[in-house]
Amino acid sequence: MTKGSIYKKILLFSLPVFLGQLLQQLYNVADSAVVGNFVGKEALAAVSSSGSFIFLIVGFINGLFMGAGIIIGNRYGAGEEDALHTAVHTGIGFSLISGVFLTIFGYLITPTILRLMNTPINVMPNSVLYLRIFFLGGLANVLYNACCGIFQAMGDSKHPLYYLIISSILNIFLDILFVVVFGLGIAGAAIATVTSQYISAGLSFYKLTKVNGPHRLLIKDIKIDFDTLKKELSLGFPTGIQNSVIAIANVVVQSNINAFGDLAMAGCGSYFKLEGFAFLPITSFCTALTTFTSQNLGAGLFDRAKKGARFGIISGVALAEATGIILYFIAPIALRLFSNDPDVIAFGELQIKTEALFYCMLAFAHCMAAVLRGAGKTTVPMFVMLGCWCLFRITYITIAVKLRPVISTVFSAYPVTWTLSVIIFLIYYHKVNIYKDNIYKRAS
């Protein structure tokens, strides 16, 4: 990432991330499509109602281990191989401990969380079953994210793609086998997902033990260096919190959607599956921007980091908006992947029409946050997201729904809060030179 064409490096890194996330979305969609078409709309509503809480957990995990990636990227850029070795083994050791904890904690807390989300009684049994099976894959989820973060911090986005290809194909095959052939219903879809997660985690872990490079994993060296862990968590925790507060706000949004009944839940759940595709260019460029920025700042290449950030932000925004425009016009056709019920489609289409043309705002906010994280300024995106996408969003919905109690009022909260965060990021970016004022020396 510190040598050669900036545009080529970012694009070549982003493409495998994009393809990997595309596959991940496809097997998430496969769950909903198989459940919606072969089990029924109540089962689809159950999968949808679990989605916000799953996003909360996975988002926190992703953010938490991003701190390790920032440290690893910086140390790689600076050529500090011993410190890099310590960071890799500390991250993996912490992932194993936290993965076991997540599995147990998530399984136990599932019914309580779903009740707090106002999950309808007729959907509750399936929601509990799906979410509890999902949490049995907690260890795999955490371990995969830790391994993937290490590969990406080193500039390798290809190996995570290879493992996602394998797990995605396996997940779709198992979805059909367990749900359609064996008739296991919503439990079959959850088992397929968890099985695939363990396969991808196992492959990633194994590859790390075989790579030739300073990030090679030696099982005998897996232990936690608490000074390194403290640095990784100091950078990763704010991002985890940022992802979580977004998800917490989405849980509140989901609670308001749940109040409109299971048809609204199914329709909006179908929309969120489609929105995941629009988010793909954002995710791929965000991952590239964080890695590119951290490595180049570690090497002291400030101008190169700035040029890369500009290119990544513009590209992410353009691709996200193009995706939003396409989704706006093909909404009814795309929603039929999940259900043929006209009411379910109507709810999903209304949400698309309200939000899709504002994906440029969503992309800009996320890409800017990625650049700031690469510079080690992880608390800035956290506070912006906390203020705009959590506190303001919840306040907006609480007040606006009372004044105009229709579901489109809930949907409008997204473009409003995306735009507000963009304004704040622009003000901060123009006031602070993040390329000269970064945390590399303090982090390493």
Convert the pLDDT of each residue in 271-281 to its tens digit.
877 887 777 77
**pLDDT, position 88:** 92
Side chain identity at residue 349, one-letter code: E
Q: What is the DSSP letter of 80?
A: -
Interior CA angle at 69 toward 68 and 75, to 5°? 90
CB 382 within 8 A of CB 424: no
Rounded to whole angstroms, what are the CA distances from 172 to 10, 43, 188, 191, 209?
A: 30, 18, 11, 11, 28
Task: State the alpha helices, DSSP H only, in 176-215.
Answer: 185-208
| pLDDT for position 203 | 93
pLDDT of 202 strictly over 90? yes
**pLDDT above 50 (res 384):** yes
Average confidence (pLDDT) over 367-375: 87
**Consecutive H or E run containing 78:** helix 41-78
pLDDT grade, residue 97 (50/70/90)? very high
Whether pLDDT at 47 is above 80: no
For residue 144, is pLDDT > 70?
A: yes
pLDDT of the residue at 406: 86
Q: What mean pLDDT do residues 55-64 have?
A: 74
Q: What's the pLDDT score for residue 216?
A: 92
Confidence label for 20 from pLDDT (cuts 50, 70 and 90): confident
pTM above 0.85, yes or no: no
Q: Is the pLDDT of residue 254 over 80?
A: no
Contact 23, 289 (CB under 8 A): no
Q: Check whether 63 has a pLDDT greater than 80.
A: no
Looking at residue 363, its pLDDT comes to 92
pLDDT at 342: 86
> How far, in Å, CA of 47 to CA of 35, rounded?
8
Which of the four pLDDT bands, split at 50, 70 and 90, describes residue 444?
very low
> What pLDDT score does 442 carry?
43
In this prediction, residue 27 carries a pLDDT of 63
Return the minimum-mean-pLDDT range out of 19-23, 305-309, 359-363.
Answer: 19-23
| Average pLDDT along the chain | 83
Q: The tokens of 219 are what?
A: 């099982």
pLDDT band per the 50, 70, 90 thresholds, residue 438: low
What CA–CA distances, in Å, run from 139 to 205, 211, 269, 391?
A: 12, 23, 26, 31
pLDDT(262) > 80: no
The backbone region for 376, taken as left when phi is positive above 0, alpha when psi lies in -120 to 50, beta otherwise, is left
pLDDT at 89: 93
| 67, 290 Cβ separation under 8 angstroms | no
Sequence-ordered list of residues with C-beta below 8 angstroms from that of 7, at least 6 positions apart, any chain: 311
Q: How many CB atoms lie within 10 A of CB 206?
A: 12
User: Which residue is it, tokens 């979410």?
Assistant: 131
**How far apart (Å, rounded) are the C-alpha atoms in residues 338 and 31?**
10
Please, which pLDDT band fits residue 110 given cuts at 50, 70 and 90? confident
**pLDDT, mean of residues 314-320:** 89
Cβ 161 vs Cβ 84: under 8 Å: no
Three-state DSSP state, 154: coil
